[in-house]
Structure 1
Amino acid sequence: MTSTDHRGNAVPEINLTDAEVLHDPFTAYGDARERSPLALIQAPGFGPIWAFTRHEEARAMLADPRFELTAASYARPDVPEHCLAYLRTMQEMDGPEHLRLRRLVSPAFTARRAAGFRPRIEPIVDRLLDDLAERAAQAGDGVVDLLLHFARPLPMDVICELVGIPEHDRPRWREWGAAVATGWGQAFVEAIPQIMAGAEAAVAHRRAEPGDDLVSELIRIREQDGDRLDDTELVTLVWHLVLAGQTPTNLVANAVETLLAHPGQLAALRRNPDLMPRAVEELTRWAGPQLMTIPRYAREDVEVAGVLVGKGEAVTAVIAAANRDPRAFPDPETLDLSRPAEGAAHLGYAHGPHFCLGAALARTQVEVALTRLLRRFPDLAFAGSPTQPGWLPDPGTRRLAALPVTL
């Protein structure tokens, strides 16, 4: 379908309820990308959204101050009033407000810090793999759901280790994280105040007894001008980590599904484990779960490639299209785990001021998970038909309903 901009220019139109878009977003968005650098997304319950489909234009938009995040309404009837103060995270902030918080917390999220955290991620992964093997042994057919019993609990266990949540409290946090990830429903309503109470307790505990964890580090951080995070900002950051930190769940699951569906690439990775850092980047580009960025809004009329985006209109970067743009990536529809690192950077963690704060930690976590999984189970294989992986019809996230495998 096509639509027109203010000047009558024809632009591709994408309806997020179309079965083709839900079933194969890469093809749907790729077709739109090859017709125009901008498309128009129609989504039920929302107004039209301008979609940047090509890598160069999408990357530029994400760094362009003329497109800003607009604070959402936090008066949700399903969130208790005393929790509303914690709902506005850095992801919804712009300008000096965002810059201040980013400056304060960035030292705790560097690639060096993430690498130093690797020895604490490894035993978490090993425990989950032990549990996976035990479940497979107990199953009559040897089949186990890798998503449910490995990819899903891993990020929450890592976050708990990072934040300093005691071991005996972590099963509750797993339940809360799963509920919050749904974004709605009774379990979500009940989880919100519990997570925030847990975050408040974690901050209070580490103020009294500092340890080797993220909250203690954030409490210690103080700028030269004396600025530091207050308790509301600390609790909000912990809460945001719980939600945003679930991303590796789908990235790990998607990566494993992709590797099993590309046995030649999997064999190459097994032969040369040193490829893993580059492989994680390529898997994020090729099978990353986030299909588009959260909407931004034009502060003024902006013309992009001859298309006028009016003041106040919503825009998004379509990661699924930009990451397979042939203008940025040679042979982009081919999975190549040895793809040169010096090429264009994928947008799996966005770009610009809102580049994902936890990107380094996510990369490290996925590297450890895949490395130890493939080393532990050399005969890992699909259980069932690899041509029917069971993708959920989610227009915003490419994710599996389950990933049954034999070990």
Structure 2
Amino acid sequence: MTERDQDTTETDGEPLDLADQELVRDPFTAYAPVRERGRMVRGRVRGVDLMWVATRHDDIRTIMSDPRFTIDATAVPGASVAHRTEQTWQARGMYAGHEKYLRAGIFDADGTDHRRLRGLVTAAFSPRRVAALRPRIDAIAAQLLDRLPDHAENGVVDLVEHFARPLPITVICELIAVPEADRDRWRARSATLSAGVCGEELGEALAGMVEDARTLIDHHAAHPGGDLISELLSPRHRDRLSTDELVALITNLVVAGHITTVNLIANSTEALLTHPDQLALLREDPTLMPYAVDELMRYCGPVVRALPRYATCDTTVGSTPVQAGDAVLPIVSAANRDPAAFTDPDRLDLGRTRRGREPHLGFGHGAHRCLGAHLAQEEAAAALTALFDRVPDLRLATDPKDLRRGTNPVNWHLKALPVRL
């Protein structure tokens, strides 16, 4: 930790503990006092150098799109900058040597490398290609709902385990052609990486997913098909992508393409069941669904914070001076409830974006806006449509305040969602 990081001025105050359980349990409410301060504050994570914490909508849009900020720590001119994401994974238990997959990934690349990596897969997640997947997504949702009563005990079933979780992992595994016999293992490892666990369990899960990705690459190299990985291994693309980059891409697609959508479906279901007036609007007007998914991503989206950005020069964010090399951590859940950007931001309003409100930041902004945003929205729309059509009397099987949430400070998620069919 640098001398400047250790120093906190009177204005900055004591660094914010980003693992504080109040922030983890309800980031939408707990980050509000931080957002209302006149300046950004310093935040700390165990084993990671200090970062500025950005909570305002306009500030976060700036750092996500302004060329004075980069997502690649090595791109800061003239100084060696601590890679906060790498430090975070190391503190959580990532095995030595696996940091190269963070550096090789599409999430941590910028500039020409990012454009090259993203360009290879953008077409697979285009609105047209995602729309073509909708019949298959609907079929998977129907199959899961057919089996839902078999998992019920006294009419109660966990919707996370038996609906929200298997739907997205099935879709993404089909997209990259993971053999069906291996999918439970991929799902379990992906869930572990996102659950907030640390130590040997985390290291083992990440190492296992890397090994699975390498095995998958070998399988598709020997038996090419019509899937995305076989396409990337074709002579047309193979010299544009290293093996480490392909391993990183596969793990990124599986973890990001699976967990965010699982939690969006579960969080959205809970929000609709606890806001019956909004659910009634959706039932009365099914054309509202795309706008509803957009609003649900703003109101109860699972992404608490995005990857840190690094200042490439001395600048300011809002009224806060930021020096070259400083890391700024965007708190997306705080920005999505910012009253300066949204009218009555703590109210769920499924028609909000139909009326042309300011866009949320749940899928990011700028060059790094979520690659799979269209797919996540389509899966959530398919899941919610099928669920409430097939189970019109669906209701929570417990008091909402008794629902258990995970401890990962990055992802706001339910550990279980018991519902009565």
2:417 is equivalent to residue 403 of structure 1? yes
Choose from 112, 122, 125 the match for 1:96: 112
In the alignment, residue 295 of structure 1 is paired with which amino acid? P
**Structure 2 CA distance, aligned partners of 1:202 and 1:152?**
22
Choose from 378, 383, 393 the match for 1:364: 378
Q: Residues 261, 221 of structure 1: CA spacing in aligned structure 2 closer, same or farther, 3 A cutoff?
A: farther
User: Tell me, what secondary structure is at the counterpart of 1:357?
Assistant: coil
* Aligned partners of 1:391 and 1:400 also within 8 Å: yes
Deviations 1:349-392, CA, capped at 9 Å, x for gaps: 11112111111111111111111111111111011112332233
2:248 is equivalent to residue 236 of structure 1? yes
Query: Identity of paired residues, percent?
Result: 45
Q: Residues 129, 186 of structure 1: CA spacing in aligned structure 2 closer, same or farther, 3 A cutoff?
A: farther
Point out where structure 1 has 5 or more consecutive residues left out of the alignment: none
In the alignment, residue 199 of structure 1 is paired with which amino acid? A
Bigger drift between 65-74 and 292-301 goes to 65-74
In the alignment, residue 297 of structure 1 is paired with which amino acid? Y
Shift of the alpha carbon at 1:254? 0.7
In the alignment, residue 43 of structure 2 is paired with which amino acid? I
Aligned length: 397
Q: Residues 170, 396 of structure 1: CA spacing in aligned structure 2 closer, same or farther, 3 A cutoff?
A: closer
Deviations 1:139-182, CA, capped at 9 Å, x for gaps: 1x211111122222222211111111222332232233223334
**Structure 2 CA distance, aligned partners of 1:221 and 1:12?**
55
User: Tell me, what secondary structure is at the counterpart of 2:178?
Assistant: coil
Bigger drift between 190-199 and 27-36 goes to 190-199
Matches within 5 A, 1:239-254: 239-245=251-257, 246-254=259-267
TM-score, length of structure 2 as denominator length = 0.85
Point out where structure 2 has 5 or more consecutive residues left out of the alignment: 1-6, 75-82
User: Tell me, what secondary structure is at the counterpart of 1:308?
Assistant: strand
What's the counterpart of residue 130 of structure 1?
146
2:193 is equivalent to residue 180 of structure 1? yes
* Aligned partners of 1:90 and 1:98 also within 8 Å: yes
**Structure 2 CA distance, aligned partners of 1:213 and 1:90?**
19
Q: Residues 12, 281 of structure 1: CA spacing in aligned structure 2 closer, same or farther, 3 A cutoff?
A: farther
2:379 is equivalent to residue 379 of structure 1? no
What's the counterpart of residue 118 of structure 1?
134
Matches within 5 A, 1:271-290: 271-290=284-303
**Structure 2 CA distance, aligned partners of 1:263 and 1:14?**
36
**Structure 1 CA distance, aligned partners of 2:16 and 2:214?**
42
What's the counterpart of residue 229 of structure 2?
215
**Structure 1 CA distance, aligned partners of 2:211 and 2:126?**
28
**Structure 2 CA distance, aligned partners of 1:92 and 1:144?**
39
Provide the alpha-carbon RMSD of the alignment: 2.7
**Structure 1 CA distance, aligned partners of 2:18 and 2:318?**
24
TM-score, length of structure 1 as denominator length = 0.88
Matches within 5 A, 1:262-341: 262-341=275-354
**Structure 1 CA distance, aligned partners of 2:55 and 2:66?**
16
**Structure 1 CA distance, aligned partners of 2:117 and 2:279?**
40
**Structure 2 CA distance, aligned partners of 1:317 and 1:78?**
23
In the alignment, residue 287 of structure 2 is paired with which amino acid? D
In the alignment, residue 64 of structure 1 is paired with which amino acid? D
Q: Residues 116, 21 of structure 1: CA spacing in aligned structure 2 closer, same or farther, 3 A cutoff?
A: same
* Aligned partners of 2:39 and 2:319 also within 8 Å: no
What's the counterpart of residue 51 of structure 1?
53
In the alignment, residue 405 of structure 2 is paired with which amino acid? W
What's the counterpart of residue 156 of structure 1?
169
What's the counterpart of residue 62 of structure 1?
64
Shift of the alpha carbon at 1:220? 4.8
Q: Residues 345, 12 of structure 1: CA spacing in aligned structure 2 closer, same or farther, 3 A cutoff?
A: farther
* Aligned partners of 1:104 and 1:221 also within 8 Å: no
* Aligned partners of 2:54 and 2:330 also within 8 Å: yes
Q: Residues 243, 17 of structure 1: CA spacing in aligned structure 2 closer, same or farther, 3 A cutoff?
A: closer
Shift of the alpha carbon at 1:192? 3.3
In the alignment, residue 121 of structure 2 is paired with which amino acid? V
What's the counterpart of residue 364 of structure 2?
350
Q: Residues 9, 306 of structure 1: CA spacing in aligned structure 2 closer, same or farther, 3 A cutoff?
A: farther
User: Tell me, what secondary structure is at the counterpart of 2:157?
Assistant: strand
In the alignment, residue 48 of structure 1 is paired with which amino acid? L
